[in-house]
Amino acid sequence: MKFGILVSEGPYTHQAADSAYLFTKAALEKGHEIYRIFFYHDGVNNGTRLTTPPQDERHIVNRWSELAEKHKLDLVVCVAAAQRRGIADAEEAKRNGKDGDNLAPGFRISGLGQLVEAGIQCERLVTFGD
């Protein structure tokens, strides 16, 4: 079955980023397709590669990047939510005259249309958030 995932809570907040990750992993292990994971609102903070948790703690951002690489996942960060929270890829940073970018590997920045399209294309859209 084709699943879409919506994450609207930041990492290390409550538990939504962890729940979304563990659900995604379980779905992949069962042979389901994860069509897209869309990060919205504070969820965009899942996509900054500057995240540096203590070494003995789970690294929520790297965990997404690694899962994306392994399973060729489409991790999409909402552009408007990202701009407000200082999440940018090289192109966005340049466009907005910023001196650095911070989007983590495996993520891409795009618009809300990507969430709508996931809602249309997927058989189930599962929301994790605050």
Partner 1 sequence: MLLHTVNKSPFQHAALGSCLRLSKDGSAILLIEDGVYGALKGTKISSDIENAMKTKKVYALEPDIKARGVQDRVLDGITLIDYAGFVDLAAENKAVEAWL
Catalytic residue among 16, 78, 104, 109: 78
* Residue (23 or 108) nearer to partner 1, CB: 23
DSSP 45-56: GGGBTT----TT
- Look up 122 and say whether it is catalytic: no
Give yes or no for residue 1 binding partner 1 (CB under 8 A).
Answer: yes
Binding mask 3-42 for partner 1 (x = CB under 8 A): x----x-----xxx--x--xx-xxx-xx-x----------
Enumerate residues 6+ apart whose C-beta is below 8 A from 103.
47, 48, 49, 77, 87, 88, 89, 92, 109
Please give the single-letter amino acid code of residue 114. Q
In the chain, which ranges are E strands?
2-7, 33-39, 75-78, 107-110, 124-128
Of residues 109 through 128, those in contact with partner 1 by CB under 8 A are 124-128
Give the nearer residue to partner 1 in terms of CB position, either 16 or 78: 16
- Three-class DSSP category at 126: strand
Residues lying near partner 1 in the complex (CB under 8 A): 1, 3, 8, 14-16, 19, 22-23, 25-27, 29-30, 32, 124-130
Could you list the active site residues?
78
